Amino acid sequence: MKPLTLLRPGRQLPAVTQPAPALKVLDTFLRGLKRLSGLAEELASLEEEVAGQEAEALERVLEEVRPLLPRLVRPVVIREPWRADDAEAHRTEGVVLAQNFQQDRGPGGRISHRGDMLLLDAEGALVELTVAGAWTEGPPVSGASWRVESHARQVTPALARRALRPALTGLLEALREAIVRGRADRAELERRLTLLREVDEVLSR
């Protein structure tokens, strides 16, 4: 074993080499890229899995609903906002699954209106109504234009992503209303049936 050599007075220890600041930043950057790359792969896999399950869930929900459509469908009316009545309104029947409408006010009282509505129609088809209109406030209203277009839709991951949650909410509301109407209809039918029995009893004497 070599003898321990003491540092002579006045001598300094050799400096420890430190990485340059730029190299530290680069190293941190590369480690961050590696972590983000792994996270991105995980997110892509999860997004694909969730998207497929959302589309499947929406399709299954609609299949459960279709046999009950005669009890669920209601009139759907889209009218020009500046009109006080529905004489010129777009009319159809169905169950509203999701809707989004908005208006923007421009200079001079010019208003633009646009939106869309996703519904399950009386035949069980998935339909999207798109609405676009513009007018200048009055009185009287001037420069009015209004267009409602109907488009057939299929359940896709993109559609299910935006429509699944509002569709569940809309269907739940439609079911509640249908149950209330169904109970009232049942009570009315039972009342009529009681009356028919009484009439039959009288006529059978």
pLDDT digit string (tens) for 93-123?
999 999 999 999 988 889 999 999 999 999 9
201, part of any domain: yes
Do 81 and 34 sit in the same domain of this protein?
no
Domain count, the chain: 2
Q: What is the DSSP letter of 137?
A: -
In three-state secondary structure terms, 136 is strand
pLDDT at res. 168: 95
pLDDT of residue 21: 78
pTM listed for this prediction:
0.74
Cis peptide before 139 (omega within 30 of 0): yes
pLDDT digits (tens, 9 = 90+) for 48-76: 999 999 999 999 999 999 999 999 999 99
Q: In Å, what is the CA distance from 79 to each residue of 99, 105, 147?
A: 15, 19, 10
Tokens of 203: 């006529």
Q: What is the CB neighbour count within 10 angstroms for residue 110?
A: 14
Residue 6 belongs to some domain of the structure: no
Which of 132, 154, 176 is where one domain is finished? 154
Same domain, yes or no: 58 and 93: no
pLDDT score, position 31: 87
Give the domain extent around 91: 73-154
